[in-house]
Amino acid sequence: MNKQISNILFVCIGNICRSPFAQGLFTKLVRQEGHIGFQAESAGLLALPGNSATFLAQKVAAEHGVDLAGHKAKRLSQELVDRSELILVMEKSHKDELLADFSEATDKTFLIRRFARLGSRSRGVADPYGLQYDTYRFCYLDIEDAVLGLVDFLIKKPKNV
C-alpha cells in the first residue's frame, strides 16, 4: 500500500449489516476529525440492490451515532472496484470470491481486520445476519476496532500494518 488512499470500498455478502457498519462508521470518524478527501462506499457480493440495512444493524449503528436509515444495498461491480484504492472484505472467502471476478484488485484487497488494534488481524468478522441483538453489537464493535485502526493508518501511516 504505497500510494495515497482516498477511496475505500467495504465488502460483505448482502451489504445490509457488516459493510454498511464499516462505511457508516468510517464516514462518521473522518468527518468528525475534519479529514476531507476520503470517500467510503460499501457493496455486497450477492446484494439485492435497494435492500435496507437490517433493523438490528440500524439499531446498533444508531446506538453508536451512525445513521444507516437511508442505506440501500448495492452489488459489487467493476465500476466500484475500479474507483477504489483500498477494498476491505469481512472474510477470507469474500476476498477469494472478489478476486475470482476482479483479479486486478489483488494488490488492493485485504481483510478489514488487517487494521485491527486488538486481537487477530487474520481472522474474519462474523456475519450477524438473522441472529440476535448481541451478535450485531459484537459485530459492530469488531468492525469498530478495525475501522479505528484504518483511520489511524490513513492519517498517521504507522509502519506495522
Per-residue tens of pLDDT for the chain, all 161 residues:
545 899 999 999 999 999 999 999 999 999 988 888 899 999 999 999 999 999 999 999 999 999 999 999 999 999 999 999 999 999 999 999 999 999 999 999 999 999 999 999 999 999 999 999 999 999 999 999 999 999 999 987 544 44
pLDDT of residue 2: 46
Q: Count how many domains the chain has.
A: 1
Question: Residue 146: which domain range?
Answer: 7-156
CATH number at residue 146: 3.40.50.2300
Residue at 84 is within a domain: yes
Residue at 161 is within a domain: no
In this prediction the pTM is 0.94
Is residue 139 annotated as a catalytic residue, yes or no? no
Residue at 68 is within a domain: yes
What span, in angstroms and rounded, lies between the C-alpha atoms of 62 and 20? 12
The candidate with the shortest Cα–Cα distance to 142, out of 121, 160, 156, is 121
Residue at 44 is within a domain: yes
Q: Of 17, 18, 113, 139, which is the active-site residue?
A: 18
What span, in angstroms and rounded, lies between the C-alpha atoms of 71 and 126? 21
Residue at 1 is within a domain: no
Is residue 75 annotated as a catalytic residue, yes or no? no
Residue at 2 is within a domain: no
The candidate with the shortest Cα–Cα distance to 108, out of 121, 125, 95, is 95
Q: Of 75, 114, 117, 127, which is the active-site residue?
A: 127
Contacts of 146 (CB under 8 A, 6+ apart): 22, 88, 112, 113, 114, 115, 116, 117, 125
- Measure Cα distances from 104 to 61, 64, 82, 101, 155 in Å: 33, 35, 9, 9, 26
What span, in angstroms and rounded, lies between the C-alpha atoms of 112 and 122? 9
Q: Of 12, 17, 139, 142, which is the active-site residue?
A: 12
pLDDT of residue 62: 98
Residue at 91 is within a domain: yes
- Residue 36 C-alpha cell reads as 476531507
Is residue 12 annotated as a catalytic residue, yes or no? yes
Residue at 118 is within a domain: yes
